[in-house]
Structure 1
Amino acid sequence: MLRIIDARTGAPVEAAPARRGLTRIVAHASGFDASGLRVLLVADLLVRALEMGGTPVWALLTGDREQAELRAGAESLGIRPFEDSRDLGAGLGEAQAVHVVGVNGGTPDAVRIAVAPVDPAVPVAPALDGDPAVWRLALLGSGRSQPLRLDAEALETARHTLARWRGAVADWARRPSRPVPEQVRGRLRDAWEDDLDVPAVLRVLEWVETRPDLPDGARFETYAYADRLLGLDLARDVGGAS
């Protein structure tokens, strides 16, 4: 069961109290910058985690500034499209709404997740012209409540990690398939169901990458499973030239 820290109270709450009830995720982005895209990315992770748990979700983007730019940036980062209608959830029997906001934002009397700002040391637009998954991984590397400095060094670290993982996944895909070990699946789910702790998910992948007793086919399935949440296109190079 996914539990998140409600920024209003500091207490954990169930992200979807009715597992099969429709949950609305509302992203409040103040503008097209790194901080705004981080808010959208956290909303996307929440959508993915709930869907993997069997909860129907719809996502809405609010704000009055640079909506077209934000939607285009979100598409580049592999973020699921946001709905246009604000009334859809009520018509379909919405069970709960969760608002994803910057640290100074807020909606009275609503469950909300606070996202710390990003120091935009690297301009947004040029970065998204390359491999946007590098930006996505760099934004995922720190807990959402921690301010993040996104500079050339951070992006280079993310680029190196992403290239290594994609190469490993392509190599593991050539081995006989094996299921995700239950211990590993449990560690992944425990991580993201504990307040959407994505850095902990990444640490599990690092552990899987080097654990000598895991078959390569199980490593492949583990990375493919985790990528349903992470959205890093880790299997992009599968089937390519050796």
Structure 2
Amino acid sequence: MLRIIDARTGEPVDASTTRRGLTCVEAHAPALDLTALRVLLVADVLVRALELGGTPVWGLLSGDRDRAELREAAAALGIRPFEDRHDAGAGLGERQVIHVVGEGGANPDGVRVAVARVSGGLGVPVGDGFAGPVRGDSGMPVGHGPGMPESGGLRVPVGDGSRAPLGDDPAVLRLALLSRPRSVPARVDDTALSEARDTLARWRRAVADWARHPSRPVPEEVRGQLRTAWEDDLDIPSVLGVLRRVEGAPGLPDGARFETYAYADRLLALDLTRDLGAPA
């Protein structure tokens, strides 16, 4: 069963009710910035982990500003839609409520999952442009200004005050954020994004190649390691560590590697099977 460290008490709590009742995951994102996107990402992965464990989940979004922009930016990162908090009714039967909050943000009653800040700045694409100004830790808009284009997709700092396009794969940012423990401040910079981009490209090529071999079940030991990692306070860096070990494990059938990555991607949502069927 998934257990989460309650930021109020420092103690682990069950993320679902004892009778598998409804669990509400409420993401507190007061305005569109990188930390708010990380809060939404943590909430999204928490919802996925609960669903994989058979728990019915209700996702809610709480915030006063930039709601439409937050939704569109979240969608670009593969985050599934959350309902507006003010539209939610009294709930259905027994329920557990887990609040996902950013550092220095809301302090609601109940179980709280704390998310550390993200530094760096980038514009998040919506349609042909940006989802409004994305704000860094200073609260100032980033990704816009004299000489900055109004479109072109995700843009990241390059060290001289300008921002270069990330490309057309927002999963790079998703992996960069997932690679750090949520309680540790994260920085979106060239190094983090380059590492995430290279890892995604390598894993997708490998998954496409493994898919050409006969399928084999996920080894029970590996399945147990994955579930132990994400059920222990949603430890996603450890989940990624299991995948790295599977990637190079000697003697493991390629069909089992494929099924392992496909299974883990139900949680990670990195589109690891995207290149299936592509020319070798």
Aligned counterparts of 1:123 and 1:139: Cα–Cα separation in 2 = 16
Higher mean alpha-carbon deviation, 83-92 vs 232-241, is at 83-92
Q: Which has the higher contact order (CA 8 A, sep 6+)?
A: 1
Q: How far 1:88 sits from its partner (Å)?
A: 4.4
Contact 1:78 1:231 in 2 (8 A): yes
* Higher share of residues assigned helix: 1
Name the CA distance, whole Å, in 2 between partners of 1:146 and 1:179.
35
CA RMSD of aligned residues (A): 1.5
- Checking the alignment, whether the CA contact within 8 Å between 1:24 and 1:94 is kept in structure 2 is no
Q: Which ranges of structure 2 fall in alignment gaps of 5 or more residues? A: 126-152, 155-165
Q: Secondary structure at the match of 1:13?
A: strand
Instruction: Map residues 89-168 of structure 1 onto 2, 5 A cutoff.
Output: 90-125=90-125, 126-127=153-154, 130-168=168-206
Task: Tell me how far 1:105 sits from its aligned partner.
Answer: 2.4
**Contact kept? 2:61, 2:85, Cα under 8 Å:** no
Report the 3-state secondary structure (helix = DSSP H, G, I; strand = E; otherwise coil) of the residue aligned with 1:75: helix
1:103: how far off?
Answer: 1.7
Percentage identity across paired residues of the two chains: 68
CA apart distance, 1:120: 1.8
Q: Over residues 50-108 of structure 1, what are the superposed CA-to-partner deviations in whole Å (9 max), with x where a residue is unaligned?
A: 00000000111111111111100111111111113646463421411000001222334
Alignment-derived partner of residue 42 in structure 2: 42
TM-score (norm 2): 0.83
Deviations 1:136-185 (A, max 9, x none): 00010100000011112211110000000000000000000000000000
Measure, in 2, the Cα distance between the counterparts of 1:19 and 1:176: 39
Deviation at 1:129, TM superposition (A): 6.0
Runs of 4+ with deviation above 6 angstroms: none
Match of 1:186 among 201, 208, 224: 224
C-alpha distance in 1 between matches for 2:32 and 2:72:
10
Q: Supply the distance in 2 between the matched residues of 1:77 and 1:172 (Cα, whole angstroms).
A: 26
Count of matched residue pairs:
242
TM-score calculated relative to the size of structure 1: 0.95
Please identify the structure whose Cα radius of gyration is greater. 2
Alignment gaps of 5+ in structure 1: none
Is contact 1:60-1:86 (8 Å) kept?
no
1:129 & 1:73 partners in 2: Cα distance? 15
Of residues 181, 205, 209, the one that matches 2:247 is: 209
Q: Which amino acid aligns with 1:38?
A: R
Alpha-carbon contact 1:3-1:195 (below 8 Å) kept = yes
Q: Is the 8 A contact 2:99 2:108 kept in 1?
A: no
Contact 1:37–1:74 under 8 Å retained in 2: yes
